[in-house]
Structure 1
Amino acid sequence: MKPSHLVAALALALGLAACSEAPTPAGDASHAEGSAGHGTETDEHGHEESGGHAESGEHSKEAASTVIPAAIAEKSGIEVQPAGEGVIADEHEVQGLLTPIEGRVAEASARFPGAVRSLRADVGDQVRAGRTLATVESNLSLSTYGVTAPISGVVTARNASVGGLAREGTPLFEIADLSQLWVDLHVFGADAQHIQPDVPVTVTRMSDGKTVHTTLERVLPGMATASQSTIARATIENDDGLWRPGSAVKARITVERQPVELMVPLSALQAMDGRDVVFVRTGDTYTARPVEVGVRDGERAQIRSGLRKGEQVVVEESYLIKADIEKEGASHDH
């Protein structure tokens, strides 16, 4: 559990403990005394005790909800939002590779044979078109001339050393414009039949989880020889310069968007007693509500039954509600 979640859970537990120490109202006490006349005993806390199945059912109903004061819920990071209509995306999870865009890679070569007298750029340097990258002393004229960058970009290769011989037409530097990159996504099997250009793509950088949104441009003919996959290509903006050619990425290709009448974020769903539940807030009471889940994507889930539009559903820190309800259920079992 994350440190922030530990703090939230501790705050919730302390708050609820304080609530549970509140004195029992007189009405509750009289109810307990009245119940005793029907052959039901009470414990020292005023809770009814019985070995019958009917009482066990009542305890289950009590364990399905919990009361959390608003101040404690806020400190614990519990957030709610109304359940409502939305869109579920039919998405395909794929992996891919970043590559420079064809036509945006250039070489800086020696015009005349001669000795390299100086080097003024190295791999990784950002250079502008026309910048001098090296000087060469021509064997023909014995004069020195400069080798300049043909385009603006990043130096990705250097094939020269001071004192070395530069032959005519020999590439001394490679420069790539990496302000934009191709993302070549590998799509396998029958999934390739559903992938078409002009659909949304979300690309995720594996190193730090940063995402960018783009659009699929084309599906290449043929298949990748090594992987036997179909290549779907998109272009991304390399604004921070940290998208690097050759890096592997993850991506979600959205094939179709399906409107639904009722949905909740995936963060709202929890599993209890083998069922999917959400927690509905009414005042300060949070109730576990079993729901039937339909289609889902990476962020949202359709709710087919068990929930009404507009009901306030816990969408952040729902696991805290689950933990407290289960704790209440365990205390009743004992």
Structure 2
Amino acid sequence: MTRLSAAFALALALALAACGGQPASEQGHADEHAAAGDHAEEAGGHSEEERHADGGGEHTDEQPSTTIPADVAERAGIEVQPVGPGTIADEHEVQGLLTPIEGRVAQVTARFPGPIHALRANVGDTVRAGQPLATIESNLSLSNYTVSSPIDGVVTARNASLGGLADEGAPLFEIADLSRLWVDLHIFGADAQHIRAGVPVTVTRMSDGKTVETVLERVLPGMATASQSTVARATIDNADGLWRPGSAVKARITVEQQPVELMVPLSALQTMNGEEVVFVRVGEAYQAQPVEVGQRDGQRVEILSGLNEGDQVVVEESYLIKADIEKEGASHEH
């Protein structure tokens, strides 16, 4: 089932509940809850209205909540995970380009001038060191000689044509070893002052979202003239040849990681009545729990109060829970 249809199933189930059309089993649960409430009041307990008036602590019925059957929640893509310790990272999102590594690019030239009789490689071909690339007839000796690749790599340029003349020292081919590439990242302003070599970097290919983990090797001393940015450089493995020089990439540079006692994914946070909340699942009930948040990064947020370690918090499709609770609140007002 797609997410859209799952969400529709959730909305339908909730609509039935609002109209009093819930299945007999769910109606039975409602009757049991009502009876339990009557027994609690008879025993000297408080009604739901009194509990709201009293204030109270965390994880009580005071907070808005809703009940969603497990099968409906699963179809809607609602997922939970326990609250626990973790790390919050000081991260910087930057962009850059992939470039060949200096010293791993070779220019193949003609030793003697003369006509080109054979060409044995095209742009994009993978070649080995010593592999013949062209045959040229020397104007000096009138004998043929072979031009070979000096390194393993890929042909990135060919400046020769069959039957053409090769000048002495003229570049015929460019061969690049692309098994590893530089990632040149552009850092602006104050960020350049505290980004140092040795910190982790996650590089993402913008064309398809593929990521690779590496380490920042150096921050270059000069500035890129065109962009007036500082260039930070890392190296990535490209043994599969899928990372291409000249491609734009984005990267996340992690400057520091701070351990925290409790944290949740940012996807768990929602805002209700002007305060930040998460939704705690107990059985099939989902309760909106106000939280005080601390540090955050691009993926996680620290929880200072409002949750206990091990609480099952909604981390996927939390907006569906919010919408359902708000819908129930609106129906009660009417």
Task: Please give the TM-score of this superposition, normalised by the length of structure 1.
Answer: 0.86
Q: Provide closer, same or farther for how the CA distance between residues 28 and 87 of structure 1 changes in structure 2, counting only shifts above 3 A.
A: closer
Using the TM superposition, name which of 160-169 and 68-77 deviates more: 68-77
Alpha carbons 1:88, 1:297 under 8 Å: kept = yes
Q: Provide closer, same or farther for how the CA distance between residues 311 and 31 of structure 1 changes in structure 2, counting only shifts above 3 A.
A: closer
Please point out which of 1, 8, 11 is paired with 2:9. Answer: 11
Aligned counterpart, 1:45 = none
Aligned counterpart, 2:329 = 329
Q: Compute the displacement of 1:129 (Å).
A: 1.5
Q: How far apart, in 1, do the equivalents of 2:237 and 2:2 lie? A: 33
Q: Compute the displacement of 1:7 (Å).
A: 2.1
Are positions 1:248 and 2:248 aligned together?
A: yes
Aligned counterpart, 1:25 = 31
Q: Provide closer, same or farther for how the CA distance between residues 87 and 31 of structure 1 changes in structure 2, counting only shifts above 3 A.
A: closer
Amino acid of the residue matched to residue 100 of structure 1?
A: P
Listed as ranges, the matches of 1:46-61 within 5 Å are none
Alpha carbons 1:264, 1:303 under 8 Å: kept = yes
Aligned counterpart, 2:229 = 229
Q: Provide closer, same or farther for how the CA distance between residues 81 and 159 of structure 1 changes in structure 2, counting only shifts above 3 A.
A: same
Q: Compute the displacement of 1:120 (Å).
A: 1.6
Aligned counterpart, 1:310 = 310
Are positions 1:103 and 2:109 aligned together?
A: no
Q: Provide closer, same or farther for how the CA distance between residues 231 and 27 of structure 1 changes in structure 2, counting only shifts above 3 A.
A: closer
Q: How far apart, in 2, do the equivalents of 1:293 and 1:127 lie? A: 56
Q: How far apart, in 1, do the equivalents of 2:226 and 2:250 lie? A: 19
Q: Secondary structure at the match of 2:169?
A: coil
Aligned counterpart, 2:268 = 268
What is the CA RMSD across the aligned residues, in angstroms?
2.6
Q: Compute the displacement of 1:215 (Å).
A: 0.2
Q: Compute the displacement of 1:63 (Å).
A: 8.0
Q: Secondary structure at the match of 2:223?
A: coil
Amino acid of the residue matched to residue 296 of structure 2?
A: R
Q: Provide closer, same or farther for how the CA distance between residues 161 and 82 of structure 1 changes in structure 2, counting only shifts above 3 A.
A: same
Q: Secondary structure at the match of 1:303?
A: strand
Amino acid of the residue matched to residue 119 of structure 1?
A: L
Amino acid of the residue matched to residue 277 of structure 1?
A: V
Aligned counterpart, 2:149 = 149
Q: Compute the displacement of 1:17 (Å).
A: 4.4
Amino acid of the residue matched to residue 195 of structure 1?
A: I
Q: Provide closer, same or farther for how the CA distance between residues 28 and 101 of structure 1 changes in structure 2, counting only shifts above 3 A.
A: same
Q: How far apart, in 1, do the equivalents of 2:238 and 2:158 lie? A: 23
Aligned-pair identity in percent equals 73
Q: Compute the displacement of 1:62 (Å).
A: 7.8
Alpha carbons 1:82, 1:309 under 8 Å: kept = yes
Q: Provide closer, same or farther for how the CA distance between residues 139 and 27 of structure 1 changes in structure 2, counting only shifts above 3 A.
A: closer
Unaligned runs of 5+ in 1: 36-53
Q: Provide closer, same or farther for how the CA distance between residues 264 and 143 of structure 1 changes in structure 2, counting only shifts above 3 A.
A: same
Are positions 1:208 and 2:214 aligned together?
A: no
When the two structures are aligned, how many residues end up with a matched partner? Answer: 310
Amino acid of the residue matched to residue 25 of structure 1?
A: D
Using the TM superposition, name which of 89-98 and 232-241 deviates more: 232-241
